[in-house]
Amino acid sequence: MDKNCILYLENGESFEGTSFGFNGEVLGEIVFNTSMTGYQEILTDPSYHSQIVLMTYPHIGNYGINKLDRESDICFAKGLIVRENCFYPSNYASDESLDSYLKKNKVVGISGIDTRKLVRIIRGDGSQKCIISQNKDLKKLKNKVDEYPSMKGRDLTLNATCEKIHKISAASNSKTIFVYDFGCKRNILRILNQEYNLNLVIGPSDTDPEKVKEINPDGILLSNGPGDPAAALYAIENIKKLIGYKPIFGICLGHQLLSLALGMKTFKLKFGHRGGNHPVMELDTKKVEITSQNHGFAVKEEDNEDIQVTHINLNDNTVEGIESKKYKCFSVQHHPEASPGPHDSKKYFKKFIEMI
């Protein structure tokens, strides 16, 4: 197929490829995901807001798109980069092709890229700004990329949250969880509501702590979400006011925000952790879980008498979980709900339920 568009990186590297999906131009932060499947869940995960996703697995789109595997109602990823896009999927559950789905959701795709070389560049130079365009004037592309804001320092939670407080009911005698929606994946809510029979009250990321106390939940969940956690100052302050009030469980961005509220610090990883095969050790038991991950920031390990580091990433020894028995709260950096990925860490939902 004709090489009719270009991917231009902040470091000056460029790749010519073939356009698919929505016909347009898009800017974002380029990140790579090593999952072999799950491209639909990845595209619809709110944590990918303002990012352009490079899939390392070479053949993407082969099982199409279905109605069940969406983590939200829209695509939050701004662009998709693949080695080869499959225009003719084959799967009993498929409703449409990836190409058709991207067109409907206005997501720009580029295929025919040497994805192995591109991943090596990102691993060497780090995640960075990029542009996908059919305009091949490199000088103009460079100017656009230079003007685009970097992810560090950007609070994107308000762009990914729900508009107002809403409920998902279970049995009348069930416990109630308040979910701070920073960009919550649908499977987190499904597991809590359908598998653990919990009433859920889901609130926007800026819900006032006093409103949470009026609801009087049995526990509070801090969801995943996009952006730099340290930039979400309002969220950190709100969580501070709720620490010690009821048991708290944080996932991914929620883990980072809880850590910041407890006095720890975060930093931007060179190229992040995104995929379904990241080994994490639970320090108490020395057991290793294979986990699903999607984050570009991490918690910095520091001495704090009220906080115990419970998990570490075995690839780079970064913090993957914390707990404060004093304040009855804990969090994990990886995704216990997976979607996509393994279910080794699903047990943390049960731990949360036992706490409340």
| Among 184, 252, 289, 334, the one annotated catalytic | 252
Look up 252 and say whether it is catalytic. yes
**Does the CA dihedral 191-196-199-200 come out positive or negative?**
negative
The backbone region for 257, taken as left when phi is positive above 0, alpha when psi lies in -120 to 50, beta otherwise, is alpha
List, in order, residues 6 or more apart from 270 with CB less than 8 Å away: 123, 126, 127
Q: Pairing mode, if any, of strands 166-168 and 14-21?
A: unpaired
Q: Supply 345's token pair.
A: 């860490």
Look up 41 and say whether it is catalytic. no
Look up 335 and say whether it is catalytic. yes
- Catalytic positions are 252, 335, 337
